[in-house]
Structure 1
Amino acid sequence: MSDMVSAGRSAGVLFPVFSMRRKNDLGIGDTRAVKQCLDWFAAHGVGFLQLLPINVTGSDRSPYSAISSVALDPLYLDLEQIKGVGRATIRRAREASGIAHIAASVDYATVWKVKSEILSMAFGKFCKSGGDEGFERFKRSQGKWLKQYCLYRWLIDEAGGEEDWSLWPEAFNTQEGAYRYEAKRLRKDRAEVRTAQNYYAWEQWHAFAQWEGVRAHADRVGVRLMGDVPIGVSYASADVFFEPEWFHLDLFGGAPPETEFKADAFTTKWGQNWGVPVYRWDVIEKSDYAWWRRRIGALSSIFHQFRIDHILGFYRIYSFPWHPRRNAEFLPLSLEEAARETGGRLPGFFPREDDTMVHKALNLLDGDKYIRAVREAAGDAEVIGEDLGTVPDYVRPHLLESGIAGFKICHWEVGADGNVIDGSAYPECSFACYTTHDMAPIRSQWEDYRVAAEAGDRVAEAKLKAISQFAGLPVMRKGKAYPAFSHKTKHALLDALMGCRSRYAGVMINGVGDSPMQINFPGTVGDQNWTYRVSWEFEHIPRWMEKEMVTFEQMLRKHDRWRGA
């Protein structure tokens, strides 16, 4: 672990790796871009860089639906660091693919085609060179998870690219069948099978080495790395296929119905069905939390602090008795019709609701046990809990008592009198912000609420009032319109955020740079999610963006959040 002291009172910026841009990249941010970002943040006193999950994902590219709880996404590899890949190779690939001209967003299909071709070429050279003892040591040190992951990736290839093991051919869609199938293929094509599986281990060798290099760079420049640990893993994952004992395979975690997300009818009616299998915590507990220890331990060499996604799920989690692929089937059904389809089961909190004092007490005891185990696995890394959503009354006091900073979405913190709670009243152990990756940037929120308020929407007007109150801006009286969002508005909002009592204050890069682009639209699948990229390169940060960062730095100094203050 690093000798770096605790973050103390600090500020950070959420900047997903895929959103970063550097000169001559391959259409997506990478580990070199992360180092450049750290240098930029260090120059302006930013205390931490907050990232979204960096585990390898499936074809939907959601960082919160990983196909391995440990493996890192090779999309983020800086190919210039890999032996056998020269700048000329990368230049030719950029020109041939046209990737250099894709300005606005990440084209994952093109990015992966280009990167995988170059990686395959480099791996071929690696094999011809006789390998590397460091690679062999890496494979031995990682143990079971790496072997299972590589086998899983090879089986995906054998299934024609199908990631969901439940849809694989009968010959290998069970664990026993997979091992038999592998043994049969090894007898016939041993060198080919081993080489194919070794390729995926080789990717991970480079990924872990590069990310540990990012951590070392962060330590040198004094900016902390904040990771993100999703509440679950994808049903279509190596973990679920090879270690099903940790999961309920007929229950899928998610969130209750939410009228805020009007873009998706299913979310509004039934909730979010994330497709992550619910944990069998009783089995995990008997193993002394071996799966969670491995998961957290693998990231502890990279991150100084962790955001635990949907920490509410450690107490109880909203669950669906059907796989997300059946969502469309259930959308038009009534409760009674849905119950007939599921044998009487309906979406609800598992293992129990918060409907009685006894149930609340049991949920609290469960959460306490599981969160303690995660904190122990995290070692010296600080744990932050994303506690947004339907929050039971016992969760936030428990997190505070446990020393885990929970989230404060400033304009959501409204008192019984209808007025927004002043940031000076926040607990010190908290993480304050206006938005997360699942929300529109504050500029877009302001404008949407303003337009709706002018049309007579009282809810939108109340939200604008809360934002204005928190920032010390004028609260409009009846008959007057709120002003359009401006630099003055933004700077007042940032100043109020940095001035609150919370230990951590966070903004998103699209908020600092005034971009209206949203990173993810919950409840939807498509190219509108996880593809946002900034329009500028770290080597050529435009004057207007640098000016915004200077203003941000002044606020950090003013409110004792400047790195090293």
Structure 2
Amino acid sequence: MFVIRRSSFVILLMHLSPENRIAGVLVPLFALRRDDDLGIGDVGALREFIDWIAEIGFTLVQLLPINETGADNSPYNAISAMAIEPTTVQLAPDSPEDLTRNDFARSLSEINLAGLRRGRIKYRQVKEFKQRVLEKAFANFSARADDKRQSEFRRFCEEESSWLRDYALFRVLVEGHNGNAAWDHWPSQHQTIESARSWVRELPQDKQVAVIQRLDFFCYVQWIAHQQWRDVKAHAEERGVALMGDIPFGVSYYSADVFSRPNEFMLDWFGGAPPEPHFKDDAFTQKWGQNWGIPVYRWSAKRANNFQWWRERVRATRRIFHLFRIDHVQGFYRVYAFP
């Protein structure tokens, strides 16, 4: 499904409409590797790819979902429908501007960079390394950022308040449970967004301060990610190239969205696909179909708040992409579900 911002001057300038044929490339961002990357494709590689696309006369780059992934690293099983995957952030001296040359050099000296770059993507190592580098940038930001930059960060947090703080709390809890996002197996004081907020408020002051710092860190990472992606979008516009995003219709059961809005999902029904006779080696799929494990939406609850979550999800995507598709858009009309 193509969704077009007809009010956008850029879209009109590019003549992007269903009536006009264009040529483009679909590419997974993680596959855009460079000689000097950090083990995975990032927005820096995407910028170079956009330049190449423009030079050969194409006008579209389509990407897989860029939302933050969980333990399985699948872009279609993200732990947040709003948050951007931190490994997409380009890290280098002054990128972000809080990252010093010395801090970056020290970080590189602590890893086997050649091994990280060689072969298939080593997701766990890449994620851990990039988080450590971002933590150094955040420490510098917290200690030395001027009032203007601090104000910009606070403004971002306010603008994204409908999801950002709950997402950050979810990330803090996942981290506190050794990377386990299965919130329904956490201690009772962590299993709902309300009880988790109360837990933070009731912590001793020193521990509460530490938690708040981690909340701010995860918000900071999203601030940097959104800045870099919007800059890439602007660069694409300068080169006459449109970026096309991808919204999976469903979300992971173990996501910040389900954790913070459980009443908007039917947690005992899971979406999937009807039986497929072509799966000769999978008797279950042949007989019953595919169970994707994504909770079915409780549309009555979505309708009650005027589909706020879906509207915010679309707005977040439109801020970064000129076009987008909704994967399995027919889910708006019918869903094959498993109890």
TM-score by structure 1 length? 0.54
CA spacing shift, 1:171–1:286, aligned 2, 3 Å: closer
Alignment-derived partner of residue 155 in structure 2: 137
1:14 CA displacement: 0.8
Pairing partner for 1:100 from 114, 135, 148? 114
Q: Does 1:214 align with 2:214?
A: no
Q: Does 1:64 align with 2:76?
A: yes
Equivalent-residue separation in structure 2 for 1:37 and 1:63 (angstroms): 20
1:215 CA displacement: 0.6
Equivalent-residue separation in structure 1 for 2:141 and 2:253 (angstroms): 33
Secondary structure, counterpart of 1:250 in structure 2: strand
User: If you compute each CA radius of gyration, which structure gives the higher value, 1 or 2?
Assistant: 1
CA spacing shift, 1:28–1:263, aligned 2, 3 Å: farther
Equivalent-residue separation in structure 2 for 1:122 and 1:228 (angstroms): 29
1:3 CA displacement: 2.5
1:171 CA displacement: 2.4
1:74 CA displacement: 0.7
Q: Are the aligned partners of 1:253 and 1:274 in contact in 2 as well (CA < 8 Å)?
A: yes
Pairing partner for 1:304 from 322, 325, 331? 322
Amino acid across the alignment from 2:82: V
Q: Are the aligned partners of 2:317 and 2:324 in contact in 1 as well (CA < 8 Å)?
A: no
Alignment-derived partner of residue 368 in structure 1: none
Equivalent-residue separation in structure 1 for 2:242 and 2:158 (angstroms): 30
Secondary structure, counterpart of 1:65 in structure 2: coil
Pairing partner for 2:250 from 208, 232, 245? 232
Q: Are the aligned partners of 1:172 and 1:178 in contact in 2 as well (CA < 8 Å)?
A: yes
Equivalent-residue separation in structure 1 for 2:46 and 2:232 (angstroms): 7
Equivalent-residue separation in structure 2 for 1:184 and 1:27 (angstroms): 41
User: What is the percentage of aligned positions where both structures have the same residue?
Assistant: 43
Pairing partner for 1:127 from 100, 119, 142? 142
Equivalent-residue separation in structure 1 for 2:40 and 2:284 (angstroms): 31
Q: Are the aligned partners of 1:97 and 1:110 in contact in 2 as well (CA < 8 Å)?
A: no
Measured against aligned partners, the alpha-carbon deviations of 1:244-300 in whole angstroms (never above 9, x if no partner) come to: 121111111111232444565544443222221101112212322211101000111
Measured against aligned partners, the alpha-carbon deviations of 1:40-85 in whole angstroms (never above 9, x if no partner) come to: 0000111210100001111111111121111111110001211243
Alignment-derived partner of residue 126 in structure 2: 111
Alignment-derived partner of residue 387 in structure 1: none
Alignment-derived partner of residue 33 in structure 2: 21
Secondary structure, counterpart of 1:4 in structure 2: helix
Q: Does 1:253 align with 2:267?
A: no
Equivalent-residue separation in structure 2 for 1:13 and 1:312 (angstroms): 24
Secondary structure, counterpart of 1:171 in structure 2: helix
1:136 CA displacement: 1.0
5+ residue gaps, structure 2, are: 1-7
1:133 CA displacement: 1.5
Measured against aligned partners, the alpha-carbon deviations of 1:472-494 in whole angstroms (never above 9, x if no partner) come to: xxxxxxxxxxxxxxxxxxxxxxx
TM-score by structure 2 length? 0.89
1:94 CA displacement: 4.7
Equivalent-residue separation in structure 2 for 1:11 and 1:267 (angstroms): 36
Secondary structure, counterpart of 2:120 in structure 1: coil
Measured against aligned partners, the alpha-carbon deviations of 1:460-519 in whole angstroms (never above 9, x if no partner) come to: xxxxxxxxxxxxxxxxxxxxxxxxxxxxxxxxxxxxxxxxxxxxxxxxxxxxxxxxxxxx
Q: Are the aligned partners of 1:57 and 1:67 in contact in 2 as well (CA < 8 Å)?
A: yes
Q: CA RMSD in A?
A: 2.0
CA spacing shift, 1:84–1:71, aligned 2, 3 Å: same
Secondary structure, counterpart of 2:24 in structure 1: strand
Equivalent-residue separation in structure 2 for 1:188 and 1:91 (angstroms): 32
Matched pairs, number? 321
CA spacing shift, 1:262–1:203, aligned 2, 3 Å: farther
Alignment-derived partner of residue 311 in structure 2: 293
Superposition pairs for residues 466-545 of structure 1, below 5 Å?
none
Secondary structure, counterpart of 2:295 in structure 1: strand
Amino acid across the alignment from 2:78: A
RCO comparison, higher one (Cα < 8 Å, 6+): 2
